[in-house]
Structure 1
Amino acid sequence: MTDEQTALFTIFGATGDLAQRKLYPSLFRLFRKGFLNDSFAVIGTARRDWSNDVYRNAVSESIQSFQPTSTELAEFISHFYYQAHDVNNSEDYSLLQTLADTLDNKYNLKSNRIFYLAMAPHFFGTITQQLKEQGITTKDGFNRLIIEKPFGSDYQTALSLNNEINAAFEEDQIFRIDHYLGKEMIQNISAIRFGNPLFTSIWNNTYIDNVQVTLAEELGVEDRGGYYDTSGALKDMIQNHTLQVVSLLAMEPPKTFTERDIRSAKIAALNDIKLYSAEEVAENFVRGQYDANPNTGQLAYRQEPNVAPESQTETYVAGKLTIENQRWQGVPFFIRSGKRLSKKETIIHIVFKSDLNPFATKEAAGLLPNNILTIYIQPTEGFSLTLNGKEIGDNFKIEPLKLAFEHSSEALDNSPEAYEKLLLDCLKGDGTNFTHWDEVAQSWRIVDVIRQTWDKQTPDFPNYISGSNGPKCADDLLAKDHAIWI
């Protein structure tokens, strides 16, 4: 039996791609599972002059892959209402307030309101100010604000944006979405770390040689060239997703598994990441940009639509993070992310230290192969542990053996999608899997010094072929620490 959640959702940007692909399907799955029932309603707002019927047809089309019954579909979309809206027009907020109050009474929503800003961040300040000034936020129920990345373009713009939002919403009312935190295996990191004394006891620099985090994509920039050319891989993937993963891997064991203590542990881990000087950036971070592949017909980044012909924007980043605390002193955290690589893969490798091979002959003496704990996040979801065992045969020869677990396709089909999990967390008021301002701020501080260093240099682009494993400089980076990408 599920606990029904009660709230009015107001979605700014309701006609956009995010709402169609993620939000409406996620709301439907929550409805189908009983988390949303009679006591919920959705107001969609955007500039388009739609009617309720047009809006409901759009919502209906977005969930057809779930094959809803006619009764189920009719009941679900009956909770959706549309209000044409100009975010800069105060009068439109008065209309929105009237509709919100009407729906609150109709569905007995207890003045609980969730505002989802699925639009450009430069509107966030205006919208939140108007929500407060026009009395659309309530005093009797809860008020929660969900916002998407990018949250600023550097620390200063993020700080200004946060100050604007904080004028209307308290920090515990703000839910900053990083959809990676809704992924099953990202949430499994803590279960693997702290649910197994085997790993808990050796999760430190005495036993771990290095940590590797890879977020690789096969696709190029597709239709996002205009946005991506002002962002690049550093801001698009490292500042948010990658550093969030690193914080979960590096944090100290939280005192309790509550939102407050987990956040505190993550923030402390991010604060312990060394902020590099310009010279240290050059030593520890590299970048790349993909070139055309004549064998596949894939374009160079500079040939993509809405990309500057001489663009210096990176489509690949690899780097070494140094965490300055007792647990991780001397352990490099290698991170990389890029587009147009050989395969789509989000994966974590914990590489344990090796030792002299006691079974090797004098002539073939050397280190044992490393034990490696691998956490597969996508497209495969699961984990593996590479151990050493005896090779079959007469000689006592050691070879790596892999113990592996992979979630079944049936389990994955029935598991909640990331946005579904995060929407439910917001309904319950659980901010554990959202990013706190202190996390955002420190992530920007880490990234800003890299960006500022690179902006003073002219890169030798393009430097890797589409469909390859990335630029050679990424391999050279690890070679400095006598390591290789797993």
Structure 2
Amino acid sequence: MTVDITRDFNPLRDPDDRRLNRIAGPSALVIFGVTGDLSRKKLMPAVYDLANRGLLPPGFALVGFARRDWADQDFAQVVHDAVRAHARTEFREDTWQQLLQGIRFVSGDFSDAASFRRLRETVEKLDVERGTMGNHAYYLSIPPNQFGIVAEQLRSSGLVKDTADNPDGWRRVVIEKPFGHDLKSAHELNAALRTTFPADSIFRIDHYLGKETVQNILALRFANELFEPIWNRNYVDHVQITMAEDIGVGGRAGYYDGIGAARDVIQNHLLQLLALTAMEEPISLGAADLRGEKEKVLAAVSLPSDLRLATARGQYGGGWQGGEQVRAFLEEDGMDPQSTTETYAALKLGINTRRWAGVPFYLRTGKRLGRRVTEIAVVFNRTPEHLFRRNQTAGLGQNALVIRVQPDEGVTIRFGSKVPGAGTQVRDVTMDFGYGHAFTEASPEAYERLILDVLLGDPPLFPRHEEVELSWKILDPVEEYWREQGGPLEQYTPGGWGPASANALLARDGRTWRRP
């Protein structure tokens, strides 16, 4: 029996209507790699949360593909357990039963054409039973070296070819970072995907871009007259962008070795945050305009000529952190004791535009640091010392606007205020905005927003291949320089804020890193 679920679901509702969110139209999501942590902890719970919020149509279908010898009900139990353990919203039996009706599983191998023929039979049957209308999104939650194989199997099996009876059905592919390991591999990866999918059907997920605070950068800058006039070289001394983790590589040692902090975080997350911070105001919030402005920034990024003075890297050593004795990076299970892979990386970058000429952007990321935090700190010039004497402003630093991306999402402004009393002492104070206490609405998890955008075909939050390749053009010279330098790498104390060379990187410019 064919189910007509399209009558009440219009994904193109007026975007200015604040009463309703946009709801995905008829569609099926096929997840490759459903047995992995990403699928279990993020993707399956996000699908349930979308359904729980009424943002998926009743006929939505979820298909898992893996080598496990599971029946549909076995996979459904896996989804159920993942939802119970990791969903953001409360568990509701009616939501689960609705979702359960569209859950299917296909057992197979990426290299087996027969497996993909079974997958085609499954999704075509769902088109009839669930009314998914040939609209299929393929989420490749798998290692990047398997992307090309799966894309070719999808093409050769007819899974991305519009059927004659429904030529308007769409096919989209979703891939996770890393998008290659250098410029050459990123270009090859894009070419492999483009043999199967057109450019506007390839969605590259950087989950940081789905976070509310990251999206709020645009609102902060362009919806307020307060900040934009001073968001330039005339007032800004420098910008610091930090992503710190307080954990080590743990069981990911085999994956992490050879990748490192710069490839894992700077090339994607931090350069995207830099682009959003430094971009010019786009003509609109449409995908082409947003991406165009970000690409202009990335194309204008420059590295100092002497990379010895513009980069720092290190590996965490062993010791005590948070009352627990932890192992050094080189002592982690499965780690090569001669590894020169960095767990901390810092760069100094410039942006050759009229707005930012001469303003350094400092990027850093690392594991086993003082706390888990991601933030963007815009640090302003010092005020001239003509009214207050130096001893009166000993407790005054530079004004700063800090955008906290995680975990305590919000914005802090640091400025000077007179200390109460008879004398005249000026000291730093802060004004704080936090999402948690400013809004009654709970922020959706990043993957909720991104999966919904894939199903809607709304691409502004997804970097296109030009952005990816520009980012690799920035990082490749650094990776080449580090490769030439070899090892061993500088060790830093767990629970601290990185190697001494990172402090020296800013000290040479008369600056210091913020302590989040």
- Which TM-score tier does this pair reach, normalised by the shorter chain? over 0.9
Aligned-pair distance for 1:431?
1.0
Deviations 1:54-91 (A, max 9, x none): 10000010111455233332222221100011111112
The correspondence for 1:359, drawn from 364, 376, 387, is 387
2:375–2:405 Cα contact (<8 Å) kept: yes
Q: TM-score, normalised by structure 2?
A: 0.90
Aligned-pair distance for 1:397?
2.2
Specify the alignment match of 1:451 in structure 2. Answer: 479
User: Residue 348 and residue 176 in structure 1: after superposition, are their counterparts in 2 closer, same or farther (change >3 A)?
Assistant: same
Consecutive unaligned residues of structure 1, counting only runs of 5 or more, are: none
Partner-residue secondary structure (3-state), 2:250: coil
Aligned-pair RMSD on alpha carbons?
1.8
Deviations 1:361-417 (A, max 9, x none): 377688963111011111111101112221111122222221111122695883210
2:24–2:452 Cα contact (<8 Å) kept: no
Q: Which moved more, 1:128-137 or 1:255-264?
A: 128-137
Specify the alignment match of 2:159 in structure 1. Answer: 136
Specify the alignment match of 2:9 in structure 1. Answer: none
Specify the alignment match of 2:122 in structure 1. Answer: 99
Q: Distance in 2 between matches of 1:385 and 1:68?
A: 38
User: Residue 105 and residue 292 in structure 1: after superposition, are their counterparts in 2 closer, same or farther (change >3 A)?
Assistant: same
User: Residue 56 and residue 368 in structure 1: after superposition, are their counterparts in 2 closer, same or farther (change >3 A)?
Assistant: closer
User: Residue 220 and residue 8 in structure 1: after superposition, are their counterparts in 2 closer, same or farther (change >3 A)?
Assistant: same
Specify the alignment match of 1:16 in structure 2. Answer: 36
User: Residue 361 and residue 152 in structure 1: after superposition, are their counterparts in 2 closer, same or farther (change >3 A)?
Assistant: closer
User: Residue 274 and residue 39 in structure 1: after superposition, are their counterparts in 2 closer, same or farther (change >3 A)?
Assistant: same
Partner-residue secondary structure (3-state), 2:125: helix
Is 1:263 matched with 2:291? yes
User: Residue 56 and residue 316 in structure 1: after superposition, are their counterparts in 2 closer, same or farther (change >3 A)?
Assistant: same
What residue identity is the alignment partner of 2:275? S
Q: Distance in 2 between matches of 1:21 and 1:268?
A: 35
User: Residue 365 and residue 162 in structure 1: after superposition, are their counterparts in 2 closer, same or farther (change >3 A)?
Assistant: closer
Q: Distance in 1 between matches of 2:348 and 2:112?
A: 47
Q: Distance in 1 between matches of 2:393 and 2:99?
A: 68
Deviations 1:102-137 (A, max 9, x none): 101111112111010010111111111221222111
The correspondence for 2:500, drawn from 467, 472, 478, is 472
The correspondence for 1:226, drawn from 254, 275, 278, is 254
Q: Distance in 2 between matches of 1:35 and 1:242?
A: 30
User: Residue 284 and residue 4 in structure 1: after superposition, are their counterparts in 2 closer, same or farther (change >3 A)?
Assistant: closer
Aligned-pair distance for 1:485?
1.1
Partner-residue secondary structure (3-state), 1:354: coil
Q: Which moved more, 1:319-328 or 1:60-69?
A: 60-69
Specify the alignment match of 1:344 in structure 2. Answer: 372
2:492–2:499 Cα contact (<8 Å) kept: yes
Partner-residue secondary structure (3-state), 1:319: strand
1:357–1:368 Cα contact (<8 Å) kept: no
Partner-residue secondary structure (3-state), 1:449: helix
Specify the alignment match of 1:293 in structure 2. Answer: 319
Alignment of structure 1 residues 50-199 onto 2, 5 Å: 50-65=70-85, 66-139=89-162, 140=167, 141-199=169-227
Aligned-pair distance for 1:276?
5.1
Partner-residue secondary structure (3-state), 2:254: helix
Aligned-pair distance for 1:476?
0.9
What residue identity is the alignment partner of 2:51? F
User: Residue 365 and residue 388 in structure 1: after superposition, are their counterparts in 2 closer, same or farther (change >3 A)?
Assistant: closer
The correspondence for 1:6, drawn from 26, 33, 38, is 26
User: Residue 344 and residue 265 in structure 1: after superposition, are their counterparts in 2 closer, same or farther (change >3 A)?
Assistant: same
2:313–2:489 Cα contact (<8 Å) kept: no
Q: Which moved more, 1:266-275 or 1:386-395?
A: 386-395
Percent identity over paired residues: 37
Q: TM-score, normalised by structure 1?
A: 0.96
